[in-house]
Amino acid sequence: MFRRFLLLFCLLCCTPAWAAFDPVGISLAAHVNKTSLTMDDELKLTVTVDGAAGDITPTLPSLPAFNVFMSSSARQINNFHATSTFEYVMLPRFPGKAVIGPISLHYGNKTYQTEPITVTVYRATQAPARPPAAKAPSGAAASARKAAPVAQAPANMPPLERDLYNLAARQGQKMFFMVAAASDKNPYVNQTVLLGARFYYARPFVDNAPYSAPTPSNLFMEEISTSEGQQIIDGKTYSYMEKRYALSGVSAGPATAGAASVKYIPAGRLDLSMFDRMFASLSQEAQLVQSNPVSFTIRPVPAPNRPASFYGAVGTGYTVSASLDRSEVEAGEAVNLTVKVNGPGNLKPTAELKIPPLNGFKVYDVVATSGSVPGNGTLKSYKIFKTVLVPVSSGLYQIPPLAWSYYDPAAQTYRTLLTQPLSLRVTPSSKVDSGFDFATQTDLNGGLRTLGTDIRYLKTHPFEGQADFLARLGRSSAGNIAFGLLLLACALYALTDKQTWAGKRSVSKARANLKRAESPEAVAEALSTYLSVRYGVHMASLPLRDIAAALQARGCPAVLLASFETLWKQLDAARFAPVDLQGQGTASLARRAAQWISDMEKGKRK
C-alpha cells in the first residue's frame, strides 16, 4: 500500500515536468485594441499563452515609442488545459509609425514568438487659442464662443478615428456626451465595417454606468474591443471609453446602427472621498446620454463576372488551404478532407463550399463550422469545411485544387483562390470474404452440391395442411366479397397521389411547429422541413440564391419568391446577430412564415 502511495506521489510531482516538455507544443498570440490612435490615447496590448503549465511570463521587446504604466495577468484552467492572458496598458511617447516587435516565450526546449504589430500614432491638433475678450457683452461672448475654430483631427487619420475625434470636438462645453461613427457608410453585402461608440466625460461619475449597445437593423453586429483614451477639447481634458463593433450588411438597401446609451450619476463634488460619493449617489438622479445613430446604404455585390466559386465573402486578405487526415488508405476506407478559409470580416453568413465530383471517390455532404478571433481592433474570422471521401478502388489519386472566390471592394473585382493539390495512395482492401469460394470446387455433381443443413423444419412440406383451408375459403361468399373489397382498396391507394398526402401532412406539421417555436432557429427549421417534404428543396446545403432558383423552377410566384427571400434573410440575421433584426421577434417571424406557407398552399390549389 505504501509503495502505491509513493508511486502516485511521484507521478503527481512529475506532472509539471511532463507539461514543460509537451511534444504537442503551445500557442502564443498577441493583439492590440487599435492600430490608430492619438498622443492622448492609451493602447492595450494583450498576450495569450494557450496550453502552457507552470509559472510563465512572456518577454516584451524594447518599446521606445511607448510607456507601459499598467500590467495584469490572469489564468484559466479547464480539464487540465491552461490558458494565460497578459495585458499591458501603454501610452505613446511621440507620433509616427511604431512597431511592437515579436513577443517571445521560452517554454520547455523551445522558444515561441509572435508576429510584429505596427501602430500609427497621430499628433492631435488643437484649435488656436482665442484672445481674451476684455469687456464683451454676454451675447457677444456667446457668439464669439460659437464662432471659435474647432480642433480638427489630422487628415491622414483612418476615417473611423477621424470622425469620432471631429464629432467630439464639436460638442462644445458639455460635461458628458456620446458620439458614434463608422469606417464606411456605403459597404457591400457581407463587407465588414467598423463602428465605434464613445462615452466622453470631463467630470467623475458615481458607481458604474450601465451601457446599452446600438441596435442593428439589416446588419450583423459583433463586439470586438473595448478601449479608453483622452482628448483635449477647447482646452479641457476629456476621458472616454470606446466600444468597437464589426458590422456587415445582411441584404442590399438601407441599414441603421441605432443610438448607444450610458446611464450615469455625476459626482456632486470633486473633493468627496470614494465612500462619500457612494452615498452621495442616493440624492442624485441618474442621467441618460445617447450617441447619434449611424445610417448605412448597403450595396449589392456586382453580378457581372461573378464566378461560380463565389460564396458571398467580401474583403481583402483571405487565405484558403486544404488537407487530408491521411496520405494512404485502403480501398473502401474513409478519408477526411478539410478546407479552411481565413480572413477579415464575418464568414458566418457565407455559403457552404461545393465539392465537385471526384473521379474514383464517393463524396459525402460538406459540414461547415465558423468562428472569429481578435485581430488588432478588427474582426478576423475563419470557416472550416469538412467532408468524407471514400475511394472505390486502389491506385494513386490526385485531388485537384479547389476554388474559393471573394469580391475585393478596393480593386472592385473578383479574386479566386486555389487550394494546393493533394495526393492520396489507395491500396487494395485487406478485408477477407469468408463466404463459400465456388472457384475452388471442381466436382459439383451435375451443378448441385449440398454444403450442409442448419434448419430442421417442423413440416416436411411448406404448404402442408393449408390446401384444405384455402379450398374452404374459396367456397365462402363472404370471403370472396372481402377479398374483392381488399383488391379495390389496394387499387385506389395505388392510384392516389401519395405526394399529396405527404404534402398535407408537412403543412400541418409545419404550422404546429411554428406555433410552438421559441427561437428563430426553430422557425427556420420548420420552414426548411416544409420545403424539403413539399417541394424537395433541401435548404441545409444550398445558398439563398439556389433555394430561390429551385422554388422558381417549381412554379413559385415572383411575389411569394421575393417575400420568402426577405423572410429568410431576416431569419439568418436573427440567428446570427446579437439582437433581433428590425425588432422581428420569434413570434412575428413565425407568423410571417405560417402566412407564407398558407399563401403557397393557396397558389398550389389554384
Residue with the larger pLDDT of the pair 122 and 260: 260
| 453 CA to centre of own chain | 62
Is pLDDT above 80 for 272? Answer: no
* Mean pLDDT within 495-511: 67
How large a percentage of the chain has pLDDT more than 70?
73
Average pLDDT over residues 18-43: 71
Residues 54/19, Cβ–Cβ less than 8 Å = yes
What is the band of 402 on the pLDDT scale with cuts at 50, 70, 90? very high
Cα–Cα distance for residue pair 553/537, rounded to 1 Å: 11
Query: Minimum mean pLDDT among 95-99, 233-237, 347-351, 571-575: which range?
Result: 571-575
Burial of 359 (0-12, 13-18, 19+ CB in 10 A): exposed
pLDDT over 70 (residue 342) = yes
Cβ burial, residue 57 (10 Å; 0-12/13-18/19+): exposed
Nearest Cα to 526, choosing from 580, 586, 593, 465? 593
Domains along the chain with CATH numbers: 17-122 (2.60.40.10), 151-298 (2.60.40), 316-427 (2.60.40), 498-605 (no CATH)
Q: Order of strands, edge to edge, in the sheet holding 395-399?
A: 328-330, 422-427, 395-399
> Residue 413: its pLDDT value, please?
95
The single-letter code of the amino acid at 356 is P
For residue 86, give Cα distances in angstroms to 13, 28, 92, 115, 422: 27, 11, 19, 16, 40
How far, rounded to the nearest angstrom, does the alpha carbon of residue 79 sit from its chain's CA centroid? Answer: 25
Percent of the chain with pLDDT over 90: 29
- Distances in Å between the Cα of 533 and the Cα atoms of 118, 258, 507, 605 are 54, 40, 9, 17
Least confident of 116-125, 195-204, 462-471: 462-471
Name the pTM for this structure. 0.60
Q: Which residues contact 342 (CB under 8 A, 6 or more apart)?
A: 318, 319, 320, 380, 381, 382
For the cut 90, the answer to whether the pLDDT of residue 191 exceeds it is yes
What nine digits make up the cell of 357? 465530383
Q: How would DSSP label each residue in 402-446?
A: PEEEEEETTTTEEEEEEPPPEEEEEEPP-PPP-S--GGG----TT
- The pLDDT of residue 93 is above 60: yes
Closest CA to 532 of 522, 520, 521, 540: 540
Query: In terms of Cα–Cα distance, which of 436, 470, 585 is closest to 517?
Result: 585
Cβ proximity of 248 and 190 under 8 Å: yes
Which region among 420-424, 509-513, 551-555, 570-574 has the lowest average model confidence (pLDDT)? 570-574
Q: What is the pLDDT of residue 27?
A: 85
Cell numbers representing residue 190 in the block: 457581407
Taken as a whole, the chain contains a residue count of 606
> In angstroms, rounded to a whole number, what is the distance separating the alpha carbons of residues 331 and 394?
5
Q: Count CB atoms within 10 A of the CB of residue 347.
A: 28
Q: How confident is the model at residue 495 (pLDDT cuts 50, 70, 90)?
A: low
Closest by CA position to 346, among listed 578, 567, 22: 578
Locate 74 and state its grid cell: 490572469
- Residue 281 is predicted with a pLDDT of 47
pLDDT of residue 200: 94
pLDDT digit string, tens, across residues 429-440: 887 554 544 444
Give residue 468's pLDDT band: very low, low, confident or very high (50, 70, 90).
low
Q: Considering only 76-90, 239-253, 268-282, which range has the smallest mean pLDDT?
A: 268-282
Residue 111, φ and ψ in degrees, nearest 5: -110, 125
Residue 185 banded pLDDT, cuts 50, 70, 90: very high
Residue 193 pLDDT exceeds 90: yes
